[in-house]
């Protein structure tokens, strides 16, 4: 081990001292900054990640949408499934309906599923909390959990479904009765907006309610493993889709939202980085004091034959070591806080009696977190570079100190 | 390889400092030679320039004029940095031990700066600690040692790399008389045993008298006696 590295270690962790106060405070400052960065970037990343998971698991990676109705869905599904990278595709019909149960109305978004193909694209069964997707037929529906709760209906209950088609029928003096259907399942995805306002039925029921005939509104596409959603959407658009029909990756569909999310994440990262910079300034200040305090030792090192660059390296290494240990401690701190995040947030929410507001505002039943390896590498890299800079100025001061001046000042 | 005839040769060393408008000449042409194993004492009043001379001899400071040779090789402060680790050991009045290191690690420090610590180096450090009577105090920090013990550790450190020359700048200045005497005995004894040349700067005439040659720095020049 080079002498300057050894001496740097010894100055940070002196022999015979269990708690080196200066080192502990310096490391703690960096650790707090790194811990906060890890928590915040993970939570901000978690929102984007949860939205992706939710969309991909309920709609597939790519959605085929049309300005008009898609008339020959089966042929288009076959065409799409021939495109390399496509695992499976399923048509859907969608719209808004009014549902009533025991006089209580609600206006959920309806999604009509093709039961023969939907299972290959999305895994809604995974989110069923009561009942079963297998029981779904043309006279039944599956409701999202909060919608069912607000209506006071459960599996086995019956609801009436009204569609905008009825208004059209009324205009031509036709009577179109509400469709009475059974509730065969309660589904909970974990996203407040979806859990409060989704109704799933067969595509045939949706087509009946909207008078679509055999047409559909769009097709959901599942990508093969390892195929990127943007790449697949581009391939599909280049595969000769009918006029007016276009493929969108889930990111295209939520482009603005994801941009805002990334902007927020970037801004918060930038602001929190200042905590690390402030910590680095305190490290620099401590090391500068150390240079003054250790003037005679610096002189001694010169007298023992140490070169100025070795003396500089000794102080530089101290900055980097504080950064290294601070980063390690900060990562541990951050990951522990992330593991306990839901307990922490719920405790605060309970304490302030804002539990419901929290769920409504943040859409998720749990505080999401997703730690991207790239973010962690960036945090580690930036912290070490900042720590290195924190050590450079004291190192420069120490290197400039001539042994003879050090002894004379002493 | 034969032993060089002179370990140190200083010729016409000049050094002056500016103090306000005045130029104070501290050294006005100092000549000094030290042979292998020779011990030389330099005495002088406070402010006579003893420490300045020692710093020049150690290559820590630049002379205004004059020439310095170590083992027959001319040195400047820049070339001295590379040679100092192997060529000379230094003992100071204030010991200058590194407080974070144990006595043993302080002794090993010159070797660490000069290269790697191996088993032979550790063995030598133990031997030196034993020679200065501190074999059982190697794991102690400087704060756990008395003044005399610290100076003995500093002496062991100065001899770690087996330098041909040892410079001691008032090594007993911070010690009581009895401890100071014992440190000087030890210093001279170890230098004699290892044929290490010694330049001892001291105020104490009794200590100076124990060396082979006594010089006095006065009016910027060295005088015998």
Instruction: Residue B208: give the domain boundaries.
Output: 8-224
Q: Does A305 sit within 8 Å of B81, measured CB to CB?
A: yes
In a domain, B112, yes or no: yes
Place of tokens 């030389």: B40
The C-alpha of B5 sits at a distance from chain A's nearest C-alpha, in angstroms, of 24
Residue A78's contacts (CB-CB under 8 Å, 6 or more residues apart) are none
Rounded to 5 degrees, φ, ψ at B39 are -115, 130
Interchain CB contact of B61 with A (< 8 Å):
yes
Integer angstrom CA distances of residue A285 from A80, A309, A390: 64, 20, 8
Per-residue confidence (pLDDT) for residue B2, from 0 to 100: 57
For residue B206, what are its two tokens? 């009794």
Question: CB–CB of B26/B15 below 8 Å?
Answer: yes
Residues of B in contact with A406 (CB under 8 A): none
Longest dimension (CA), chain A: 108
Interchain CB contact of B72 with A (< 8 Å):
no
In a domain, B85, yes or no: yes
CA angle B93, B151, B189 (to 5 degrees): 105
Structural domain tally of chain B?
1
Inter-chain contacts counted by CB atoms under 8 A, chains A and B: 71
Instruction: For residue B24, give the CATH number of its domain.
Output: 3.40.50.300
Q: Does A302 sit within 8 Å of B98, measured CB to CB?
A: no
Q: Per-residue pLDDT for B141 more than 70?
A: yes
In a domain, B96, yes or no: yes
Query: Chain B: residue nearest A300 by CA?
Result: B96
User: Cα(B109)–Cα(A304) distance, rounded to whole angstroms?
Assistant: 8
Per-residue confidence (pLDDT) for residue A348, from 0 to 100: 81
Instruction: Please report which confidence band the pLDDT of residue B71 belongs to, taking 50, 70 and 90 as the band edges.
Output: confident
Per-residue confidence (pLDDT) for residue A358, from 0 to 100: 64
For residue A287, what are its two tokens? 């090391």
On the 0-12 / 13-18 / 19+ scale of CB atoms within 10 A, B118 is exposed
Interchain CB contact of A158 with B (< 8 Å):
no
Go through B31-44 and write b for each residue having 16 or more CB atoms within 10 A of its CB, e for each that does not: ebebbbbbbbbbbb
In a domain, B89, yes or no: yes
pLDDT tens, per residue, chain A with 410 residues: 888 889 888 888 887 666 678 888 888 888 988 898 899 888 888 877 877 777 778 778 898 988 888 888 888 888 899 999 899 999 999 889 999 999 899 999 999 999 888 888 888 888 888 998 889 999 999 999 989 999 999 999 999 998 887 777 777 777 777 889 999 999 888 776 677 788 999 999 999 888 888 899 999 999 888 888 888 888 888 888 888 888 888 877 777 777 877 788 788 888 878 877 887 888 888 888 888 888 888 888 888 888 888 888 988 898 888 889 999 999 999 999 999 888 887 788 778 777 666 666 555 567 788 888 988 998 899 888 888 888 888 888 888 877 777 776 55
The crossing angle, in degrees rounded to 10, of helices A255-293 and A373-400 is: 20
Cα–Cα nearest to B101, from A246, A297, A384, A163: A297
For residue B136, what are its two tokens? 């059982």
Interchain CB contact of A299 with B (< 8 Å):
yes
Q: Are strands B22-34 and A98-101 parallel, antiparallel or unpaired?
A: unpaired
On the 0-12 / 13-18 / 19+ scale of CB atoms within 10 A, B134 is buried
Place of tokens 């959603």: A229
Q: Does A304 sit within 8 Å of B96, measured CB to CB?
A: no
For residue A343, what are its two tokens? 């307990």
Interchain CB contact of B99 with A (< 8 Å):
yes
Query: Chain A: residue nearest B52 by CA?
Result: A404
Give, as one character, the DSSP assignment of residue A382.
H
For residue A29, what are its two tokens? 């400052």
Share of chain B above pLDDT 70, in %: 98
Query: Chain A: residue nearest B169 by CA?
Result: A407
Question: CB–CB of A108/A197 below 8 Å?
Answer: yes
In a domain, B3, yes or no: no
Query: Chain A: residue nearest B158 by CA?
Result: A304
DSSP string, A144-180: EHHHHHHHT--TT-EEEEE-THHHHHHHTT---PPEE
Cα–Cα nearest to A135, from A186, A194, A89: A186
> Which tops the pLDDT comparison, A200 or B77?
A200
DSSP element (H, E) containing A65: strand A62-70
The C-alpha of A313 sits at a distance from chain B's nearest C-alpha, in angstroms, of 13
Instruction: Please report which confidence band the pLDDT of residue B50 belongs to, taking 50, 70 and 90 as the band edges.
Output: confident
Per-residue confidence (pLDDT) for residue B60, from 0 to 100: 85
Question: CB–CB of A253/A59 below 8 Å?
Answer: no
Dihedral sign, Cα of residue A157, residue A163, residue A165, residue A167: positive
Q: Does B60 sit within 8 Å of A303, measured CB to CB?
A: yes
Residues of B in contact with A297 (CB under 8 A): 96, 98-99
Q: Does B84 sit within 8 Å of A3, measured CB to CB?
A: no
In a domain, B138, yes or no: yes
In a domain, B106, yes or no: yes
Residues of A in contact with B60 (CB under 8 A): 302-303, 402-404, 407
In a domain, B1, yes or no: no
Per-residue confidence (pLDDT) for residue B4, from 0 to 100: 63
Region B140-154: what's the mean pLDDT? Answer: 89
In this structure, the number of other CB atoms found within 10 A of the CB of residue B111 comes to 23
User: Cα(A303)–Cα(B84) distance, rounded to whole angstroms?
Assistant: 7
DSSP element (H, E) containing A63: strand A62-70
Rounded to 5 degrees, φ, ψ at A178 are -65, 150
Q: Does B98 sit within 8 Å of A297, measured CB to CB?
A: yes
Residues of B in contact with A410 (CB under 8 A): 94
Cα–Cα nearest to B79, from B90, B68, B89: B68
């Amino acid at each position: 081990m080079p002498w300057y590295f050894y001496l740097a270690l010894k100055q940070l962790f002196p022999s015979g001292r269990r708690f080196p106060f200066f080192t502990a405070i310096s490391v703690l400052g960096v650790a707090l900054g790194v811990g906060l960065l890890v928590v915040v970037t993970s939570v901000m990343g978690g929102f984007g990640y949860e939205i992706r998971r939710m969309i991909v698991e309920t709609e597939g990676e790519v959605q085929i949408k049309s300005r008009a109705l898609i008339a020959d869905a089966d042929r288009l599904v076959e065409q799409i499934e021939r495109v390399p990278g496509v695992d499976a595709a399923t048509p859907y019909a969608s719209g808004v309906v009014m549902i009533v149960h025991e006089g209580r109305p609600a206006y959920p978004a309806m999604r009509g599923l093709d039961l023969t193909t939907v299972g290959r694209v999305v895994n809604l069964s995974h989110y069923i909390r009561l009942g079963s997707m297998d029981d779904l037929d043309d006279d039944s529906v599956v409701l999202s959990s909060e919608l069912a709760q607000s209506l006071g209906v459960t599996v086995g209950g019956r609801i009436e479904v009204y569609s905008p088609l009825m208004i059209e029928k009324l205009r031509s003096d036709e009577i179109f009765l509400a469709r009475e259907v059974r509730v065969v399942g309660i589904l909970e995805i974990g996203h407040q907006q979806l859990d409060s306002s989704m109704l799933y039925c067969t595509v045939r029921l949706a087509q009946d309610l909207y008078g679509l005939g055999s047409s559909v509104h769009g097709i959901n596409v599942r990508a093969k493993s390892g195929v990127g959603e943007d790449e697949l959407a581009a391939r599909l658009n280049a595969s000769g889709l009918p006029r007016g029909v276009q493929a969108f990756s889930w990111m295209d569909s939520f482009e603005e939202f994801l941009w805002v999310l990334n902007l927020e994440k970037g801004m918060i990262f930038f602001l929190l980085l200042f905590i690390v910079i402030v910590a680095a300034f305190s490290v620099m200040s401590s090391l500068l004091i150390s240079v003054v305090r250790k003037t005679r030792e610096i002189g001694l090192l010169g007298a023992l034959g140490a070169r100025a660059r070795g003396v500089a390296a000794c102080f530089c290494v101290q900055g980097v070591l504080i950064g290294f240990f601070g980063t390690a401690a900060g990562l541990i701190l951050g990951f522990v806080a992330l593991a306990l995040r839901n307990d922490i947030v719920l405790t605060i929410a309970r304490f302030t009696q804002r539990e419901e507001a929290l769920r409504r505002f943040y859409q998720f039943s749990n505080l999401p977190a997703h730690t991207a390896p790239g973010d962690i590498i960036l945090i580690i890299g930036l912290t070490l570079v900042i720590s290195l800079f924190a050590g450079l100025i004291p190192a420069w001061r120490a290197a400039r100190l001539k042994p003879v001046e050090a002894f004379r000042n002493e | 390889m034969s032993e060089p005839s002179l370990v140190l040769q200083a010729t016409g060393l000049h050094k002056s400092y500016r103090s306000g408008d005045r130029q104070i000449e501290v050294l006005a042409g100092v000549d000094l030679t030290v042979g292998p194993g020779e011990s030389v004492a330099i005495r002088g009043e406070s402010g006579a320039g003893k420490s300045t001379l020692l710093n020049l001899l150690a290559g820590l400071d630049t002379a205004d004029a004059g020439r310095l040779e170590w083992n027959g090789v001319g040195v400047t402060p820049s070339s001295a940095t590379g040679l100092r680790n192997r060529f000379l050991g230094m003992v100071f009045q204030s010991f200058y031990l590194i407080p974070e290191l144990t006595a043993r690690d302080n002794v090993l420090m010159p070797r660490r700066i000069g290269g790697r610590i191996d088993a032979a180096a550790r063995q030598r450090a133990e031997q030196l600690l034993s020679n200065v009577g501190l074999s059982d105090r190697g794991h102690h920090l400087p704060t756990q040692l008395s003044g005399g013990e610290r100076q003995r550790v500093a002496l062991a450190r100065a001899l770690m790399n087996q330098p041909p020359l040892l410079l001691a700048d008032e090594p007993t200045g911070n010690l009581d008389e009895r401890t100071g005497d014992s440190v000087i005995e030890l210093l001279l004894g170890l230098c004699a045993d290892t044929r290490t040349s010694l330049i001892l700067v001291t105020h104490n005439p009794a200590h100076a008298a124990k060396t082979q040659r006594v010089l006095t720095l006065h009016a910027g020049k060295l005088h015998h006696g």
